[in-house]
Amino acid sequence: MARRGALLLVATVLGVCAAGSARGYNGGPITDQIESLFWLITFFAVLVGIVVFGILFWFLYRYRQSVSPNPATEVHGNRRLEVVWTVVPTIILIIITAVSWPVLLYTDTPPPADTTVTVIGERFSWTFRYADNSTSPDLWVQQNIVVALRVTSIDVIHSFAVPDLGIKIDAIPGRMNPFWLQAHATGNYLVQCAEFCGVSHPYMRSTVHVFPPGSQPKIYGPPPPPASVTEIQLLEPSATNWTINPANLTAKLGDRVTLRVWNNATNPHDFRIDAPVNASVSTMPPFGFAWLNFTVNTASPGPVPYGPSNATARTKGMAGNLTIQAGTVITILLGEDPPGSSNFVIRPNVGTNPLTIAKGEKVVFEIVNVGQFDHNFQMGPPYDFIIHTSPIKHGDPPIFLGPFTLDQDATSQYWCIIHKGAGMIAPYVVGAGSAQVGVPLFDMVALTIGVSVPVSLLPPLSAFPLSALLLRGPVLRFREPPSPPPKDEPANPRQDHRDRNEDER
């Protein structure tokens, strides 16, 4: 029996080790800490088990019936033994607490975060809101960045669990539970609700997608949709009549353009889009192709020629034109003066505030962050639809908004939404500007007569339809208080007469 017990113990230890090594999380620092603690406690537990079961098996062997046929006498009240089996487990618990406490502190103390993501649970799905207020059903983060998580729910209690990253945190309605995430390895990690929340609880799943640095424009968020591909063909129908198909392309400022250029000709050709785009591919052999990707960052007053860089090929007809759809480009600079200070500045690149725009002019706004802080942009009414809410970081490419045709006279302001409260705001004028709103003449006369005070003393009332209020009845009236009676006359003659009669009696 002792031999069977020993074999069972060895098989158990080997099975636990094999299971752990096969699992091999290695997803992030939280997982590393938890897994190290797990194996330390497991090793300690196996060691204690070997001692306990070793003593048990030794007793079974030493006092087996063939050797000790007579039953042993019972022992009562062995204080030494009681002290041992009380002190030893206490020491074991103290050791486990000592090795667990640093791990608890590490997991509960997040390092400085690169970005923040709000995790929202609802039956039976997850929503992830990023720093720019965009959302997605899956979580997308860059490899090795630290993500601060704010976990909540909008209906019942859920539990946001990513086992391979060592994450399990409750999502409670009305409460934001903080945690953090960092993934060392790229790949996809399963998200599962770990708190029973209804009949479809097993299907409340999502995925954490970890992508390598440089593969996406931001460190968070799903990848941008693929750009549509435009096919360009270079053709030589005859020795003197060469063509390019299509011969005309259009793009807007800020567009990401993907071209696949085919050299369906008998001669090798390169391909180039001239200034201000300045994008090109090297020489392609006959019936070969090349990819060309670029972003339209600069406006052009006229069509931009494209085709082979060889002037002879263009003269023979292998030439086309790219039209950049845009109006007047107005560059708005966002920043601080000096850079990095709390003196936030927003102004046009040319000229000074107020920003002046001709009525009916077709314009494109180029928003450039030249400061150290994140900024964004919005125009005030009536053009408040011209807005870019996502933060523009230092070094980001310009953001193009438009084109817009401003066909209404207006006097208003434009600002950085993030720092509007800190004074990052400036005026603009379109056309002749909008008329200043004041009190109509009839309201001023009525108010002056009815109230008998200067209108200038009541600026807050200029926003109300005073004439309508006055026509409904007396709205504001001042009545003089009654004058006190003279000192030598009684306030009430009849009462004074009754007082004199009582005195005479």
CATH number at residue 95: 1.10.287.90
Tokens matching residue 390: 């996502």
Domain range for residue 481? 447-494
Q: Which amino acid is at 429?
A: V
Among 165, 182, 211, give the residue marking a domain's end.
211
- As a whole number of angstroms, the distance between CA 145 and CA 220 comes to 9
Burial pattern 89-114, b for ≥16 Cβ within 10 A else e, equals: eeeeeeeeeeeeeebeebbeebeebb
Place of tokens 């200038």: 456
Q: Give the strand pairing for 229-235 and 147-153.
A: unpaired
The model's pLDDT over 188-244, given as tens digits with 9 standing for 90+, comes to 999 999 999 999 898 899 999 999 998 888 899 998 777 678 999 999 988 888 999
Measured over the CA atoms of residue 26, residue 30, residue 34 and residue 40, the dihedral's sign is: positive
Measured over the CA atoms of residue 485, residue 489, residue 491 and residue 494, the dihedral's sign is: negative
Residues in the chain with pLDDT < 70? 1-26, 72, 75, 227, 301, 435-505
Q: Which residue from 398, 396, 392, 381 is spatially nearest to 416, judged by alpha carbons?
A: 392
Bridge partners, 405 (sequence order): 362
Same domain, 407 and 477: no
Q: Give the pLDDT score at 444.
A: 39
- How many distinct structural domains can be found in the chain? 5
Q: Give the pLDDT score at 435.
A: 56
Q: Which residue from 127, 117, 189, 182 is spatially nearest to 158, judged by alpha carbons?
A: 127
CATH number at residue 352: 2.60.40.420
Same domain, 320 and 334: no
Q: From residue 301, how far is each of 254, 324, 325, 327 by CA, in Å? A: 16, 8, 10, 9
The model's pLDDT over 28-69, given as tens digits with 9 standing for 90+, comes to 788 778 888 888 888 888 988 898 899 899 888 888 877 777
Same domain, 6 and 98: yes
Among 162, 180, 211, give the residue marking a domain's end.
211
- As a whole number of angstroms, the distance between CA 340 and CA 361 comes to 35
Q: Give the pLDDT score at 227.
A: 67
User: Is 505 within a domain?
Assistant: no
- As a whole number of angstroms, the distance between CA 255 and CA 258 comes to 10
Same domain, 97 and 8: yes
Task: State the Cα angle at 69 between 67 and 75, rounded to 5°.
Answer: 100
Q: What 8-state DSSP symbol labels residue 436?
A: P
User: Is 217 within a domain?
Assistant: no
Same domain, 351 and 414: yes
Q: Give the pLDDT score at 449.
A: 39
Q: Which amino acid is at 392?
A: I
Tokens matching residue 199: 């009949």
Q: Give the pLDDT score at 474.
A: 40
Same domain, 343 and 309: no
User: Is 503 within a domain?
Assistant: no
End-to-end CA distance of the chain: 129
User: Is 72 within a domain?
Assistant: no
- As a whole number of angstroms, the distance between CA 90 and CA 78 comes to 19
Q: Tell me: cis bond preceding 382? Omega within 30 of 0 counts.
A: yes
Q: Which residue from 199, 34, 15 is spatially nearest to 102, judged by alpha carbons?
A: 34
Same domain, 455 and 386: no
Same domain, 133 and 103: no
User: Is 222 within a domain?
Assistant: no
Same domain, 167 and 186: yes
Q: Which residue from 84, 120, 99 is spatially nearest to 36, judged by alpha carbons?
A: 99
The model's pLDDT over 278-318, given as tens digits with 9 standing for 90+, comes to 999 999 999 899 999 988 877 776 789 999 999 999 999 99
Among 397, 430, 463, give the residue marking a domain's end.
430
Same domain, 278 and 353: no
User: Is 401 within a domain?
Assistant: yes
Q: Give the pLDDT score at 323.
A: 86
Same domain, 360 and 383: yes
Q: Give the strand pairing for 125-129 and 135-136.
A: antiparallel
User: Is 45 within a domain?
Assistant: yes
Same domain, 320 and 335: no
pTM: 0.45
Classify residue 479 as exposed, middle or buried by CB count within 10 Å of its CB (0-12, 13-18, 19+): exposed
User: Is 159 within a domain?
Assistant: yes
Q: Give the pLDDT score at 441.
A: 40
**For 105, phi and psi rounded to 5 degrees?**
-65, -40
Per the CB < 8 A criterion, the answer to whether 271 and 261 are in contact is yes
Q: Which residue from 258, 211, 264 is spatially nearest to 234, judged by alpha carbons?
A: 264
